[in-house]
Structure 1
Amino acid sequence: MSIATLLIVIFVVGYLSITLEHNLKLDKAVPALLMGTLMWAVLAFGFNEGWLSIVDHYGDVYNLTSGEEEEQLYGFKRNLIYHFSAAAEILFFLIGAMTIVEIIDLHRGFAIIKNMITHKNKRRLLWAMGILAFVLSAIIDNLTATIILVTLLRKILVKRSYRIWFAGMIIIAANAGGAWSPIGDVTTTMLWIGGKVTAVGLSEYLILPSLVCFVVPFFIAGYLKPFRGKAIRKELIADVEAHRLLSSKKMLWTGLAAIAFVPIFKGITGLPPYLGMMFSLGVVWMVSEYVKPEKNLPRNQKHVYSTHKALSKIEFSSILFFLGILLAVGVLESVVWGSINGEEVGALRYAAESISVAIPNMDVVVLLLGALSALIDNVPMVAATMGMYTYEIDHPIWHFIAYSAGTGGSLLVIGSAAGVAAMGMEKIDFIWYLKKIAWLALVGFLAGAGVFIIIEKFFYA
């Protein structure tokens, strides 16, 4: 077995371990980190022995047998630094966004949103929750929006048999809302930071398809039995967590405005998005230090609302998972697998060319990738496409990839972070979701895709 083939084997085994995390009872960050680091170790061993070549993001090829050793080793090291720094940009962006959301939550800012939901009619409640999920996910991200709204559902609806229907529809709305925003989903953030799309271009292309993906299944669901009649509501007043603090309103609007300011910061300065997110975090952190959550808060209780506590609540296992995935994909992008038109290319680029030969229509390819994201994590899939294709920034294919990877995850309850969160919170059965919700998600996914293709062919040709 060649070293290049061994790298593919490690990636496949690691990928399978990630998708089977529930069966293995192992946090997916573990196989991701082992996979990413082991692949770089094997790549370095093969390179140092002169058994393989690597190609960097400029297209320069390095091999110890084809030039001065010191220069070739430096090229390898520089390539590693590039991939690690590219991953770090995404990770620091996510850390900043997650911290701001946790600060808002500590000050019970989301209680303001929760207390706005007063509908007793199930159909109106469905639309209210859907609109909130669609809008919130575009601002704070689809996972956080889902967690907030499912928590709200548990405080509103008595019967779980109805709650899971609402939770299933929230997954569809949250994933649709996250697909058109550069900060609404990890995959759109990756494409934005990776220089594949701009914030304005992504929103311009995807706002309408994403809206259709959300509206169509909700319109159909409104006529189904679970969403008819009045909801049997719980009493919200008894919920201590729903009570606002003196700082709730201030921190909610400060936090949301700070996150929304990140694309503006990039547009004004031209600096990478993670710097804008760090600036926004600094502003929110500063404000949180001076606001008073309670009238006479004892000094020894101030830590309850501190940013240090918000930082302790971040799921760093998710951050490490992304690191492992991005490092592994960096190896596949770097290892020379073959040549195209006389030019040596990495494994991902070679795979892209092979797929294009087998399926000439890229729209079909991207739709299949979207459907596949319901079975396997969309983060490595999008990371792989970023290394496979060389389309210019804001090319329609990048926008279609963002749409398909983001909304395709709704087809199965395990297909997105939002779905997994709702599944865990409400114990949603996989088969139940497949029978009751998946067909609605599919209708929305295809409807939105159809709108995107029409826009692409007739308005942006």
Structure 2
Amino acid sequence: METIIILVFVLGYLAITVEHSIKIDKLIPALVMMAISWALIALGIDSFTQWFDSANHGLVDGFSTLDHENKMHIMEETLLHHLGKTSEILVFLLGAMTIVEIIDYFDGFSTIKSFIKTNSKRSILWIFAILAFILSAIIDNLTATIVLISILQKIVKDRSVRIWYAGLIIIAANAGGAWSPIGDVTTTMLWIGDKVTTGKLFMYLFIPSLLCMIVPTLIASFLPAFKGNLEKVEDNDKPKNKFSSTMLYLGLGGIVSVPFFKTITHLPPYVGMMLALGIVAIFAEIYSNSKFALSGVDSDEHIEHASHSPVHHALSKIELPSILFFLGILMAVAALESLGILFGFAGTLQETMPMLGTEFHGEGVSDLVVLLLGVGSAVIDNVPLVAASLGMFSEPIDNELWHFIAYSAGTGGSMLIIGSAAGVVAMGMEKIDFFWYLKKISWLALLGFIAGAATFMVTRTLF
């Protein structure tokens, strides 16, 4: 039965990686393989000889001797445990996405556009790279990429030039997301899973992530594509909403406050995110003169928003397919973890892989394993890779292993355009060709990844 479940996972994973070829959204195979995996576990529960207790991070003693009823009870408790942990991540992401959409409702991101006054290609490259690095740490790398490419489309007329900027934005956004607990889904998973803390994440990864952004940007600034001045697009935007700046700073401030809320209250991060969303929503409703009713909204906003309050409009715009994909993939990986498959694979991996550099404290996990995880995240989605690592390794909170995993999984995806959510969305927004990115941008991303990884290996000894 274990073999069948592994086969279901492999086939589902394959369908996810080739979604563009088979024209089926990746959320569909993710949900299907999750449901089938747990159904097979329930049907074949009596045939399993071991069970992994995620709460205590160890195998259940004497599982094979238990009767059917007790095994089913343990399975149901485990399923509920994993659903709870997954829901913490999903509710957190829903809150963050909604705040970002509320900011966009008030045209808040136009404030960022107003900061750009220069026509120099090289200067604009550095402005966008730095903005991507900072914004992705606040509103996550996917959203930062969408925002910045949207702004880019308004100020850069030539698409052949714009895709160069988009490529460097992907690298900078992924680098910026790695050192923040709210900057990337994988880092958020490690943070919510009590593997890393905000302070240590910043201490370990800020400098490596910064170099991962600076090295490619510095090299690119000397390439022919970024020489000379830009021909700007005429600004035909409608007048900026008078509350745009206020909502931008309020929304970003609310998201940034979440790690502080967790540190002070020791409550799960999604509670702080819901508080931030509630406060932002109050001001949004007041500013739009909308009623807190599902119908009969009294608003003078644009006709597109006429039948919505800002909050309802924002909720209708969030990326629900991404949320369902995360649900499917995390719960599917949880199925493999519960059977002890990942736990056993980790032991085999650690025994067979050669050591590179310093061993991590605890179980002596090879640096090479983590570097390969980074390279692997460029080929396949980094979410299941990190989810698997949570079930494979048992190092304590803030062990340097978890921080290296956060860096590798977060930045390694930049090496291919399909290797990160930021890359995929940029690919869709600018119709960037896979092989163009491979030829023009991938080597820059690789150099940045290596520079950051080498820096991490040196600086980790200081903490």
> What interval of TM-score do these two structures reach, taking the shorter chain for normalisation?
over 0.9
Q: Within the alignment, does 1:284 sit opposite 2:288 as a pair?
A: no
Q: Does the CA-based 8 Å contact 2:132-2:176 persist in structure 1?
A: yes
Match in the other structure for 2:265? 269
Q: Within the alignment, does 1:406 sit opposite 2:406 as a pair?
A: no
CA distance in 1, matches of 2:186, 2:415: 17
How big is the shift at 1:55?
Answer: 2.2
The 3 A distance-change label for structure 1 pair 127 and 65 is closer
How big is the shift at 1:65?
Answer: 5.5
CA distance in 1, matches of 2:447, 2:418: 18
Q: Please give the TM-score of this superposition, normalised by the length of structure 1.
A: 0.93
CA distance in 1, matches of 2:346, 2:154: 48
How big is the shift at 1:247?
Answer: 1.7
Which of 22, 25, 30 is the aligned partner of 1:24? 22
Q: Kindly provide the CA deviation profile for residues 294-320 of structure 1, in whole angstroms up to 9, marking residues without a partner as x.
A: 9x9538965455200100111111101
Give SS of 2:379's match: coil
Match in the other structure for 1:54? 51
After superposition, where does 1:126-137 map in structure 2 within 5 Å?
126-137=125-136
Q: Within the alignment, does 1:87 sit opposite 2:117 as a pair?
A: no
Match in the other structure for 2:342? 348
Q: Does the CA-based 8 Å contact 1:63-1:72 persist in structure 2?
A: no
Match in the other structure for 1:316? 320
Match in the other structure for 1:392? 396
Match in the other structure for 1:328? 332
Which of 298, 302, 320 is the aligned partner of 2:300? 298
How big is the shift at 1:52?
Answer: 4.2
The letter of the residue matching 2:66 is: G
Q: Does the CA-based 8 Å contact 2:330-2:384 persist in structure 1?
A: yes
Q: Does the CA-based 8 Å contact 1:413-1:420 persist in structure 2?
A: yes
How big is the shift at 1:62?
Answer: 7.1
Q: Which moved more, 1:116-125 or 1:57-66?
A: 57-66
Q: Within the alignment, does 1:430 sit opposite 2:434 as a pair?
A: yes
Give SS of 1:331's match: helix
Q: Does the CA-based 8 Å contact 1:50-1:63 persist in structure 2?
A: no
How big is the shift at 1:118?
Answer: 1.7
How big is the shift at 1:249?
Answer: 1.4
Overall identity of the aligned pairs, in %: 54
Runs of 4+ in 1 over 6 A off after TM superposition: none
Q: Does the CA-based 8 Å contact 2:196-2:398 persist in structure 1?
A: yes
After superposition, where does 1:132-171 map in structure 2 within 5 Å?
132-171=131-170
CA distance in 1, matches of 2:203, 2:299: 46
Match in the other structure for 2:386? 382
Q: Structure 2: which 5+ residue stretches go unaligned?
A: 291-297, 356-365
Match in the other structure for 1:192? 191
Q: Does the CA-based 8 Å contact 1:4-1:52 persist in structure 2?
A: no
Q: Does the CA-based 8 Å contact 1:266-1:276 persist in structure 2?
A: yes
The letter of the residue matching 1:253 is: Y
Q: Does the CA-based 8 Å contact 1:140-1:183 persist in structure 2?
A: yes
Q: Does the CA-based 8 Å contact 1:18-1:31 persist in structure 2?
A: yes
Q: Does the CA-based 8 Å contact 2:37-2:335 persist in structure 1?
A: yes
Match in the other structure for 2:352? 358
The 3 A distance-change label for structure 1 pair 293 and 138 is farther
How big is the shift at 1:64?
Answer: 7.2
The letter of the residue matching 2:36 is: L
Q: Within the alignment, does 1:43 sit opposite 2:35 as a pair?
A: no
Q: Please give the TM-score of this superposition, normalised by the length of structure 2.
A: 0.92
Q: Does the CA-based 8 Å contact 2:288-2:310 persist in structure 1?
A: no
Q: Kindly provide the CA deviation profile for residues 271-294 of structure 1, in whole angstroms up to 9, marking residues without a partner as x.
A: 011111111111111111111489
Q: Does the CA-based 8 Å contact 2:179-2:205 persist in structure 1?
A: yes
How many pairs were matched up? 442
Q: Kindly provide the CA deviation profile for residues 135-179 of structure 1, in whole angstroms up to 9, marking residues without a partner as x.
A: 000000001111111111111111111111111000010000001
Q: Kindly provide the CA deviation profile for residues 311-345 of structure 1, in whole angstroms up to 9, marking residues without a partner as x.
A: 0111111101000111111111111xxxxxxxxxx
CA distance in 2, matches of 1:110, 1:262: 21
Q: Which moved more, 1:394-403 or 1:111-120?
A: 111-120
How big is the shift at 1:71?
Answer: 3.4
CA distance in 2, matches of 1:403, 1:64: 37
The 3 A distance-change label for structure 1 pair 88 and 297 is closer
How big is the shift at 1:51?
Answer: 4.4
How big is the shift at 1:69?
Answer: 4.5
The 3 A distance-change label for structure 1 pair 65 and 395 is closer
Give SS of 1:373's match: helix
The 3 A distance-change label for structure 1 pair 304 and 61 is same
The 3 A distance-change label for structure 1 pair 69 and 452 is same
Match in the other structure for 1:246? 242
Q: Within the alignment, does 1:227 sit opposite 2:221 as a pair?
A: no
Match in the other structure for 1:343? none
CA distance in 1, matches of 2:395, 2:354: 15
Match in the other structure for 1:121? 120
CA distance in 2, matches of 1:198, 1:166: 32
The letter of the residue matching 1:298 is: D
The 3 A distance-change label for structure 1 pair 298 and 231 is closer
Give SS of 2:44's match: helix
CA distance in 2, matches of 1:225, 1:10: 48
Match in the other structure for 2:12? 14
Q: Does the CA-based 8 Å contact 2:288-2:300 persist in structure 1?
A: no
Q: Kindly provide the CA deviation profile for residues 190-210 of structure 1, in whole angstroms up to 9, marking residues without a partner as x.
A: 000011111111111100000
Match in the other structure for 1:338? none
Give SS of 1:390's match: coil
How big is the shift at 1:360?
Answer: 3.7
Match in the other structure for 1:255? 251
